[in-house]
Amino acid sequence: MVPSIFPQIMSSDPSFADMQGKHLIVVANRLPITITQDASGQYHFKMSSGGLVSALSGFKKSLSFTWIGWPGFYIPPKDRAYVDKRLMEEYSCQAVYLDDDVAEGHYNGFSNSILWPLFHYHPGEMNFDEENWLMYRQANFRFAETVRSHITPGTMVWVQDYHLMLLPMILRGLVDGKSAGESQKGQLDKISEGIEEEFTTSSERVPDVKIGFFLHTPFPSSEIYRILPVRREILWGILFCDLIGFHTYDYARHFLSSCTRILGLPTMPNGVEFEGRLAHVGTFPIGIEPSSFIKNLENASVKSRIAQLEQRFNGVKVIVGVDRLDYIKGVPQKLHALELFLTQHPEWIGKVVLVQLAVPSRQDVEDYQNLRSTVNELVGRINGRFGTVEFMPIHFMHKSLAFDELCALYAISDVCLVTSTRDGMNLVSYEYIACQQARQGVMILSEFAGAAQSLNGSIVVNPWDSQQVADAIHEAVTMDTDTRAENHRKLFKYVNKYSAAFWGSSFIREMSKVKQDDTDTEGQAELAQKKDEGPGTELIGGQVPTPQVVSADA
C-alpha cells in the first residue's frame, strides 16, 4: 500500500489534466541525495550534483514524483528504517539496498565496463564476463522488487539509463502477475537463471501501469551493438515499455534497426511491435534548468568571484573545459588540438589559457585510471613546452567545483571547448550558454555529442581532426563581437526554451497518452502492413520470433 506522503501529480499545467492524482515514480541508478556516515555513525543527507540529477531536479519543479535509486554504499539492515524515513519525508526518495558485491558488479563491472564502452563505440574497452552479467541481472531484480512495492493501479514508472535496462521487463512481469504470457515468462526465466536470491513477488495483476525508459547515452549503430554477447536480452529488457526515449533521432534509429536485425521484429519510425504490444519510440533531447544558473550569477558572492577571476585573467582569452575524467570526453584530443594551435599561432602564447576541470569519475575502473595518467602526462608536456615563469597555458584541476565557482568559471570564459568522442547529450555546453549573457562567448562543440544536433550557433568540430579543432580555436578567439552576439542569441533562445522541465514533461505527457489496447487502430494497421513485408534487413543471429498478435493486457 502506498503511504499517503507519496507525491501525487497535482500540476496546474492543463496538459497534465489526465494525470491528476496519479503517482509517478522515477527510477535511476543513483539517488539524487549523497548520504554519508560520520565517525559516530550518524547519517548526513545532501543533494548531489551531476547531469542526470540536475536535469531531473529541474523537471521535479514542474511535476512531483518519487525517486527510487541506490544510495551509493552499503547500509546495514538495522539502519534502513531510519534512512528510509529521512529519504521519504524530506526528499520523496526510496533507497534500493544492494550488497557490496552486487553493487560493484552491477555498476563498475557490467554498466561501466561493458555497456558504457560499447554504447560509446569503445568495444576494445569492453570486458564481458558472466559474473558481472549475473550481478547486473540481480541488481535489476532488486530494483524491480522495490519499485513493485510502491506501485498501485495507474502508476507511471519512468526508468532511467543503461544501468537498468532489464528493469522494464522484470517489472512488467511483476505487474502482470498471473496474466503474464508464456513467452514473457520464458524470457523472465532466462534472465533469472543462476540467481539464487529469492525475490518477493505477487501474482496479483496491477492494472493500468505505464512503464517508460530513457537512455542518457548514445545507442550505437547495430554494427557495434551486435558485439554485445547479451544483445538480445538487453533489447528484450526495454521492449516491455510503453515508451522508449532517446536524446536524438540517430540513437532512436540505431535502436530500431538493432530490433529488426537482432530480434527480427517489425519496426516503424515511432515504435516496435513486441509480444503483441507496441513499444513506442521517440526522441526527447534533454536540457538544463537555465534559471538556476542565471539567478546564481546575480548573487553578490558570485559577482565578486567573477570580478576576481576577470582581474586574474585580464588580457588573456580563457577557454573553459568541464568534463568528467572519462575517455568519451576526448580530453587528450582537446589537449592535442591546443598544442597544435599554440604551435601554429605562437603570437597567442601567453594570451590564451585553457582552464580544464576534470571531475574524478569511476575511479575503480582500470580504463579511467589509465586515462588519468595519459592526461597528466599531456598537460605536463604542453605546459613544459609553452609555459614561462609567469604563465602556464593549461590550468588543470582534477576535482569537482562548487556550483558558485563553476558558474563564475563559465561566466568569465571566452570560449567553451567540448571535444567528446561520443556523448549522449553534454549538458556542460548548455550550462556554459546559460552563463554567457554578458560575455557572449563562443561554443566549440564536437559533432559526436548529442548537443551538436540542437545547439545551432556553435562551431561544430570533429575532435579527431586536430587541425580542424585548432582552426576552430583560432576562429573563436578572433571572432568579432557581432557574430558572437548573433550566435549566442540563437543558442540562448534554444537553451531557455528546451529546458529539463520541458524534457521531463514532454516524456511523461507522451507516456500518459500511450494506449496498449486495440483502440490504437492506427498503430495496429501500420503494424499489420509491416508484418506482411517482413523484417526489412538481414537478421543478425538468432531466430525471427513468430509474430503473435495478442490483445495487450496493460
| Chain positions contacting ligand L263DTV3, by CB under 6 A | 30, 50-52, 55, 161, 216-217, 286, 361-362, 423-427
Judged by beta carbon distances under 5 to 8 A according to partner kind, the member of ligand UDP, ligand L263DTV3, none in contact with residue 161 is: ligand L263DTV3
Judged by beta carbon distances under 5 to 8 A according to partner kind, the member of ligand UDP, ligand L263DTV3, none in contact with residue 176 is: none
Q: Which stretch binds ligand UDP (CB under 6 A): 46-54, 240-248, 346-354, 388-396?
A: 46-54
Which residue number, 119 or 240, has a Cβ lying nearer to ligand UDP?
119
Q: Which residue is nearest to ligand UDP (CB)?
A: 51
Q: Which of residues 320-349 bind ligand UDP (CB under 6 A)?
A: 322, 324
CA dist 176 and 180 (Å) reads: 5
DSSP string, 33-74: EEEEE-TTS-EEEEE--SHHHHHHHHHHTTS--EEEEE-SS-
Judged by beta carbon distances under 5 to 8 A according to partner kind, the member of ligand UDP, ligand L263DTV3, none in contact with residue 383 is: none
- Match 554578458 to its residue by C-alpha cell: 438
Which residue number, 304 or 370, has a Cβ lying nearer to ligand L263DTV3?
370
Which residue number, 155 or 426, has a Cβ lying nearer to ligand L263DTV3?
426
Which residue number, 55 or 166, has a Cβ lying nearer to ligand L263DTV3?
55
Which residue number, 248 or 260, has a Cβ lying nearer to ligand UDP?
248
Which residue number, 423 or 526, has a Cβ lying nearer to ligand L263DTV3?
423
Which residue number, 411 or 425, has a Cβ lying nearer to ligand L263DTV3?
425
CA dist 8 and 21 (Å) reads: 5
Q: Which of residues 412-431 bind ligand UDP (CB under 6 A)?
A: 425-428, 431
DSSP string, 148-205: HTT--TT-EEEEESGGGTTHHHHHHHHHHGGG--HHHHHHHHHHHTT--S--------
170 neighbors 196 (Cβ within 8 angstroms): no
The least distance separating ligand L263DTV3 from the CB of residue 53, rounded to whole angstroms, comes to: 7
333 neighbors 421 (Cβ within 8 angstroms): yes
Which residue number, 455 or 554, has a Cβ lying nearer to ligand L263DTV3?
455
Q: φ and ψ at 56, to 5 degrees?
A: -70, -30
Run of H or E including 417? strand 415-418
Q: Site for ligand UDP (CB under 6 A): which residue of 51, 271, 287, 457?
A: 51
The 8-class DSSP code of residue 220 comes to: P
Count of other CB atoms within 10 angstroms of residue 377: 12
Which of these, 245, 297, 283, lies nearest to 431 by C-alpha position?
A: 297
Report the DSSP pairing between strands 271-274 and 267-268: antiparallel
Q: Is 174 in the site for ligand UDP (CB under 6 A)?
A: no
Judged by beta carbon distances under 5 to 8 A according to partner kind, the member of ligand UDP, ligand L263DTV3, none in contact with residue 428 is: ligand UDP
The least distance separating ligand UDP from the CB of residue 215, rounded to whole angstroms, comes to: 13
* Angle CA 217–219–220, to nearest 5: 120
The 8-class DSSP code of residue 3 comes to: -
Judged by beta carbon distances under 5 to 8 A according to partner kind, the member of ligand L263DTV3, ligand UDP, none in contact with residue 322 is: ligand UDP
Q: Which of residues 364-403 bind ligand UDP (CB under 6 A)?
A: 400-401
- Match 543478425 to its residue by C-alpha cell: 540
Binding site for ligand UDP (CB under 6 A): 49-51, 54, 322, 324, 357, 359, 400-401, 406, 425-428, 431
